[in-house]
Amino acid sequence: MRVPISLKLIIYFLLLSVTTIFVVGKFSFNKAKEALINRTFDQLISIRIEKEKRVQNFFEQCNNDIVNIASLNDTRIILENIKYCKLNSTDSSGQISNYILGYLQANKRFNRVIFIDSSSNIFTFLINENEDIQIDNQLYLNFQKNIKNHNKIQLCESLTSSDKYVINIGMNVKNEEKQIIGTVILEISYEPIDNIMFEDNIHNGLGETGEVYLVGNDFLMRSSSRFISNSKFETIVKTSGVENSFKDKPGEEVIDDYREIKVFSSYKKLDVEGLNWAILAEIDQFEAMQLIKNVENNIIYLSVVISLLLMGIVAAISSNITSPIRKLQAETEKIYRGEYGQIINLQYNNEIGDLINAFNRMSIQLKEQTERIEYEQVIRTTYVIDGQEAERQRLSRELHDGLAQYILAIKLKLEHALSVGGEKQKQLIEETRNLFAETIKEIRNISNNLMPSVLSKYGIVKALENLATTVNSDTKLNFIFSHNLNDDTLNQKTQIYIYRIIQEALNNTLKYAEANNFFVNFADENNVLFIRIEDDGKGFDISQKYFRTGNGLANIRERVNLLSGKIEIDSAPNKGFLIKISIPV
């Protein structure tokens, strides 16, 4: 199937353009996607770190609170009087100072305070009225033992006998003599921690699906979920992010969260001594990548628009390129039909302009060559006819002036011999016989001029040697012939044509040159016959049209062309005449 070049150009340019747009768009999209992913992770890391610091600050404040409570004189008084007053949490009116009560209620970080004296007597006071009043004395006693063993502030999360998680912070209380008189323990509320982690606000940097939450080493949530009600201590989060956090392998990656939804996640183990928690900041992949999806759609839209624009531009460029080519094709068809000399009047300052100029020159040259060939054909035909007529006239003259006169004389001699007798008759018969001999000789001369018998019998070399002998004896011209030729290398046709070429050049020299010497040399080299014909006559101006197309030279050129040879003619006034011919043999 033939595809027009204009369509090919449109297809090629369009493919190139679309490919370029696709590569650039894909590269830009990937870079933008990579930047967005990095930015998302950076944002999650920033939010996770901020939340982590707030949680750490919260527990540091709890540390300060327990230190402040343990250093109060009111705390020492309570511990010293537990066993005497038999204090308990159900009957606490007037049994705890207003300062301690006001301090703990003001910061809203604790559910209850527990005092344990050195004899393991326990006094608890409920601070947060929303909390239940269940007490796990054994848990407190175990915690007191742990505090005494380490003799420093202790923080831990424990599971009560009623399967409830509590966070306790405690320290030893000493009297003025630096003796341990008991332990004070604060039960930390989960609510302020939950308030730190959970922010249902789209302007918090987490969008509509982002959240930061805590997970314990039992893989239960320690803070509220944005998507699941009552998730704290109820929702299991056993994702790769949580597992890596507890393996002390913090990081950022795309994982499946507890909802089995792809999310960008930044995770790390919480750096709070006494708590084995992981903190995770996550946002749904779909929301995080929504911006890049919009960018992708915009790239596709722009690519389609640009491709359509490029198609129009390429079509215009293609038409501009192919229009002169189509014009060239049409004009070439005219030349094919023989309408030479066609000119394309289009101006382009580029390769197409060069092509048009070359076509115009070719068209003009073809027209000139055609006219010259037609003219030369007419001249050649004229020369052939003129040559034939001249040859007929020459034969007519030779027959009339020579042969006819001999025959007429023979006729008269014979008629005269019939009318006489005796010796006179014998004399007339003898004269008639001599006339017959002259007639035969004249016929032989005419025949040799038409086709020398020596040429057909002995070849070109012998024929030219005889021709040279005849010219040297009958004219003032000195004919010098030399060669290194083997006759067997030339066929009969080639020998005849070469003989006629030499004859034609010789006749021109005899008629016009006024030369003293005429040279002919044959040289056979590598299956090519080189012929050099030269005289030392008056020469002529080779640039003149008559001499370039004269009868004799035209016949020589024609015969050389028929032999597939090449010819060079050189002459100038008073410089003689030279012909160089090369013929493949």
Tell me the two tokens of residue 128: 């947060």
Which long-range CB contacts under 8 A does 199-203 form with residues at least 24 apart? 200/226
Cα radius of gyration rounded to whole Å, the chain = 65
What is the distance between the alpha carbons of residues 381 and 373, in angstroms, rounded to a whole number? 12
Tell me the two tokens of residue 230: 């009552």
pLDDT of the residue at 548: 46
pLDDT of the residue at 92: 42
- Rounded to 5 degrees, what are φ and ψ at 23? -65, -45
Question: Do residues 99 and 145 make contact, with C-beta atoms less than 8 angstroms apart?
Answer: no
Tell me the two tokens of residue 21: 């747009």
Query: What pTM was estimated for this model as a whole?
Result: 0.55
Q: What is the pLDDT along the chain (585 residues), one digit of tens a residue?
A: 666 766 777 777 778 777 887 788 788 878 888 888 999 999 999 999 999 999 999 999 999 999 999 999 889 988 888 877 654 443 344 456 788 888 888 878 998 899 999 888 999 888 877 666 567 888 999 999 999 888 899 999 988 888 889 999 999 999 888 899 999 999 999 999 999 987 665 556 678 889 999 999 999 999 999 889 889 999 999 999 999 999 999 999 999 999 999 999 999 999 999 999 999 999 999 988 888 877 777 777 777 787 778 778 877 777 777 777 777 777 777 777 777 666 777 767 777 777 777 877 787 777 777 777 777 776 666 665 665 666 666 666 666 666 677 677 777 777 777 778 778 777 878 878 887 777 777 676 666 666 566 677 778 888 888 888 888 988 889 999 998 876 567 888 888 888 888 988 988 898 888 899 999 999 888 888 899 999 999 888 877 654 444 557 878 888 888 888 999 998 888 888 899 999 997
User: How deeply is 454 buried, as exposed, middle or buried, from its count of CB atoms within 10 A (0-12, 13-18, 19+)?
Assistant: middle
pLDDT of the residue at 282: 94
What is the distance between the alpha carbons of residues 347 and 290, in angstroms, rounded to a whole number? 55
User: How deeply is 486 buried, as exposed, middle or buried, from its count of CB atoms within 10 A (0-12, 13-18, 19+)?
Assistant: exposed
What is the distance between the alpha carbons of residues 495 and 68, in angstroms, rounded to a whole number? 139
pLDDT of the residue at 309: 82
Which positions ≥6 away from 367 have C-beta within 8 Å?
A: 340, 341
Buried b (16+ CB within 10 A) or exposed e, 307-342: eeebeeebbeebeeebebeeebeebeeebeeeebeb
What is the distance between the alpha carbons of residues 99 and 332, in angstroms, rounded to a whole number? 114
Which positions ≥6 away from 228 have C-beta within 8 Å?
A: 234, 235, 259
Other C-beta atoms closer than 10 Å to the C-beta of 446 total 15
What is the distance between the alpha carbons of residues 450 and 411, in angstroms, rounded to a whole number? 27
Q: What is the DSSP letter of 251?
A: E
DSSP for 66-80 reads: HHHHHH-HHHHHHHH
Distances (CA, A) of 47 to 78, 243, 448, 483: 43, 20, 124, 110
What is the distance between the alpha carbons of residues 6 and 301, in angstroms, rounded to a whole number? 27
Question: Do residues 231 and 248 make contact, with C-beta atoms less than 8 angstroms apart?
Answer: no
Q: Give the residue among 331, 334, 335, 333 at the shortest CA–CA distance from 346.
A: 331
CATH superfamily of 72-189: PAS domain (3.30.450.20)
Question: Do residues 299 and 28 make contact, with C-beta atoms less than 8 angstroms apart?
Answer: yes
DSSP for 264-291 reads: EEEEEE---TT--EEEEEEEEHHHHTHH
Buried b (16+ CB within 10 A) or exposed e, 173-193: beeeeeeeebbbbbbbbbbbb
Distances (CA, A) of 235 to 31, 55, 209: 37, 21, 17
In DSSP terms, which residues pair with 269 in a beta bridge? 278
Q: Where are the domains of the chain?
A: 72-189, 364-450, 454-585
Inter-helix orientation angle 551-562/492-508, to 10°: 160
pLDDT of the residue at 267: 96
pLDDT of the residue at 89: 40
Which architecture characterizes domain 454-585 according to CATH?
2-Layer Sandwich (3.30)
Which long-range CB contacts under 8 A does 429-436 form with residues at least 24 apart? 435/406, 435/409, 435/410, 436/410
What is the distance between the alpha carbons of residues 470 and 476, in angstroms, rounded to a whole number? 11
